[in-house]
């Protein structure tokens, strides 16, 4: 059984972008092309709006040419970008700390009570 088969989802690295499509490297033997028509169901004016060189992406294999070690690829029907882990921002305490909250809270309460009374 081959590592690359039609319909399989594989991860690769975008190695080049031309006006007609994007080239993807998978290993030291196999490369592939995502034709511009296989980028999105919508009109694609610029491929770099979707992917960039050196992006690691998932692709769906449409055809395999084992003699040339070349794959025809698509990303329009799959989630092609790996999920990025969200970085947590470090909370930095200000010099004033909670003093601002203690100062403004009574004013906010008073303002909201007036709004409620008007209704």
The CATH number corresponding to 9-74 among 3.40.470.10, 1.10.10.10, 3.40.190.10, 2.40.50.140 equals 2.40.50.140
Lowest model confidence (mean pLDDT) among 20-34, 39-53, 59-73, 93-107: 93-107
pLDDT at 69 over 80: yes
Residue 17, pLDDT score: 96
pLDDT at res. 90: 78
Enter the pTM of the model: 0.67
**Average of per-residue pLDDT across 34-52:** 94
What is the pLDDT confidence band of residue 104, given thresholds at 50, 70 and 90? confident
pLDDT at 99 over 80: no
Q: What is the DSSP string of the chain?
A: --S--TT-EEEEEEEEEETTEEEEE-SSS-EEEEEGGGT-SS--S-GGGT--TT-EEEEEEEEEETTTTEEEEE-TTS--SPPPPPPPPPP---SSTTHHHHHHHHHHHHHHHHHHHH-
């Amino acid at each position: 059984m081959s590592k690359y088969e039609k319909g399989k989802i594989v991860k690769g690295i975008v190695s080049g972008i031309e006006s007609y499509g994007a080239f993807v490297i998978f290993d030291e033997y196999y490369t592939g092309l995502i034709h511009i028509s296989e980028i999105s169901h919508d009109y694609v004016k610029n491929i770099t709006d979707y992917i960039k060189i050196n992006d690691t992406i998932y692709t769906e294999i449409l055809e395999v040419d084992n003699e040339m070690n070349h794959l025809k690829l698509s990303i329009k029907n799959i989630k092609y970008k790996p999920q990025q882990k969200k970085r947590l921002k470090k909370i930095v305490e200000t010099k004033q700390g909670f003093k601002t909250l203690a100062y403004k809270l009574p004013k906010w309460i008073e303002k909201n009570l007036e709004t409620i009374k008007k209704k």
